[in-house]
Amino acid sequence: MLMISPRMASGMQEKQYTPSLLSFFIYNPKFGPREGEEEKKILFYHPIEIEKNEKIRNVGLCEAIVQFTRTFCPTKPAKSLHTQKNRQFFHEPEENYWMVMVVRNPMVEKPNKDGKPPTVEYQEEEIIDSVYGSVLQQCYSMYKLFNGTFSRAFEAGGVELLTQKLEKFFYRYLQTLHLQSCDLLDVFGGISFFPLDKMTYLKIQSFVNRVEESLSLVKYTAFLYNDQLIWSGLEQDDMRILYKYLTTSLFPRHTEPELAGRDSPLRPEVAGNLLHYGRFLTGPANLKDPEAKFRFPRIFVNTEDSCEELHLIVYKAMSAAVCFMINASVDLNREFCEKLDSLVGPQLTLLASDICEQYNINRRISGPEKEPQFKFIYFNHMNLAEKSTIHMRKMASVSLTSVHPDLMKILGDINCDFARVDEDEEIIVKAMTDYWVVGKKSDQRELYVILNQKNANLIEVNEEVKRLCATQFNNIFFLD
């Protein structure tokens, strides 16, 4: 019997809630081992409004869970706790320092008739552990990039300095987490490389060499074009987190003004230099103003062995951006910046337009860029190279994908299955919507292809993927 109630007429529908951050805390049990000292263990806790005893209880639960799992495997304790309403992720980045992220499970609220409170249905399966576990690990990596390790802060200034640094960093960083749009790419934490021909690549290499020779202070250099990496002198793990910072935080902050119209107040002050288009993204915003104060952000690299603290200079000309990293003990003054500006500006401007021209030539040769034919994600564990034709723009705020989120989760499932063994594998699935998803793992590389071919069978799907591999991947993947 169909009943039309006023509520139905007003369109009262199910409300879908996406996963969100419930709490985030960092603790070290060694700092408060005795009873009555529990509060001392807590180094950072968000949200700050939570009552002290509740914080202590939540930390206590985490400790108990880690201890419990140690009963069965002392070296590999808990990584996540699943409850009906939320999921907790555990990460021990340094000995005895624990980071915990609590995510509220996505849920659906179904309205009830007669004024009864709505029924809530929790959707635990929507959260994939490997994705959010990686997000938590990345929180640490990002903190470490700008602050060095926890131990270092503790050694330098005790608990007070450490808690200060944690508070300062995480208060802002947690606001940039967009848990509803995390997916497989977060598991990879890869770098998108800009495809180049040999000549242009050599030009860039020699540019870097020349600059490093002239500015002997420069320790490391990284060269990017259009949010993609071309060359880096840093270790992989350091570059990957720096890359994430540049592409999700620094570049977007500066791109918007650039794209603004000529008369817009957002448009950056033109440096007044007609010789080149170079400018500093970090450091002095306007070289012409002698009174303006500036400083470069400090980053920490090679934290495993030498732990170097460096100034991060990011200098951009058109679509090309170069990072110069100089020992933090050096004082970088205006004079140095002017020298760098006059040396790098013109060269980089020329180089940027060269690259642009070459890129356009290549595109003309390979044919007009139609809608990418294949939807795929590729990742190479060896050089961290990642490529996705599914994600439209990967920024901090929103990762737009051109496929249904459920398909992305299926990719996540396949990735988890791949992670279980080291051997080459292939997993092909047909989803309920008749989409086919093909996952291939071969020799440290992973490829995921989504095909929307409703009436295709297994053989046809196989042929399609073979074609893709032949054109784009030069037969790296050669399973049948």
Partner 1 sequence: MHRNRGSWGFQPEDTLIEDSGEFPSSLELNGQKTELLAGCAMDVPGLSHRNEDVTSESWRKHRKHVFVLSDAGKPIYSRYGNEEALSSTMGVMMALVSFVQAGGNTIQSIFSDEHTVVFLQQGPLVFVSVSTTHQSEQQLRGELLHVYHQIVSMLTQASIKRIFEHRKNYDLRRLLFGSERVLDSLLDVMDFDPSFMLSAVQCLPLPSSSRDILSNILQKSITPNLVFSFLIAQNRLVSIVQEKTVAEDTRLKPSDLHLLLNLIRASSAFQAGEIWMPICLPLFNHDCYFYAYVANLDPPECTICLVLLSTDKEAFYAMAECKRKIEQAFMSQNALECVANSQMYCVEDVGVNNLRHFLYKPSNVMEHHRQLPQFTCPEMAVPYKSQEERIRLLDLYRNMHNRIHSTSRPLKLIYHSADGETLLAWVTGKFEMYACFTSLVTKKSAISELTKLLRWIKKEEDRLFICHLPKYSTTSQSGRVSTDRGRSDRANASDAGFMSLL
Binding part of the chain for partner 1, among 163-171, 228-236, 428-436, 448-456 by CB under 8 A, reads 428-436
Segment 31 to 90, residues that bind partner 1, using CB under 8 A: 57, 61, 64-65, 67-69, 71-73, 76-86
CB 128 to partner 1: min, Å: 10
Which H helix or E strand runs over 225? strand 218-225
Among 308, 409, 456, 468, indicate the residue that binds partner 1 (CB under 8 A): 409
Q: Where are the beta strands (DSSP E) in 20-67?
A: 20-27, 42-46
Write out the DSSP string of 440-462: EEETTEEEEEEE--TT--HHHHH
Stretch that binds partner 1, among 11-19, 40-48, 366-374, 425-433 (CB under 8 A): 425-433
Nearer to partner 1, 17 or 201 (CB): 17
Q: Which residue type does 260 have?
A: A
Helix locations, 235-333, DSSP H? 236-245, 251-259
Q: Between 35 and 480, whose beta carbon lies closer to partner 1?
A: 480
Tell me: does residue 470 bind partner 1 (CB under 8 A).
Answer: no
Q: Between residues 402 and 457, which has the closer beta carbon with respect to partner 1?
A: 457
Question: 3-state SS of 375-403?
Answer: EEEEEECCCCEEEECCEEEECCCCEEECC
Q: Which is nearer to partner 1, 94 or 425 (CB)?
A: 425
CB atoms within 10 A of CB 183: 20
Instruction: Looking at residues 93 to 132 of the shown chain, list those that interact with partner 1 (rule: CB under 8 A).
Output: 123-126, 129
Strand 320-327 to 107-110 pairing: unpaired
Smallest separation, CB 436 to partner 1 (Å): 9
Q: How far is the CB of 58 from partner 1 (least distance, A)?
A: 9
Residue 74 Cβ vs partner 1, minimum distance, rounded to whole Å: 8
User: Distance of CA 107 to CAs 85, 104, 430, Å?
Assistant: 9, 9, 26
Q: Binding residue for partner 1 (CB under 8 A) from 396, 426, 468, 476?
A: 426
Cα separation of 176 and 32, whole Å? 31
Query: In angstroms, what CA-CA distances link 58 with 25, 106, 162, 291, 325?
Result: 9, 21, 21, 50, 41
Choose between 301 and 465: whose C-beta lies nearer to partner 1: 465
Residues that bind partner 1 (CB under 8 A): 57, 61, 64-65, 67-69, 71-73, 76-86, 123-126, 129, 406, 409-410, 413, 417, 420-421, 423-432, 434, 457-459, 462, 479-480
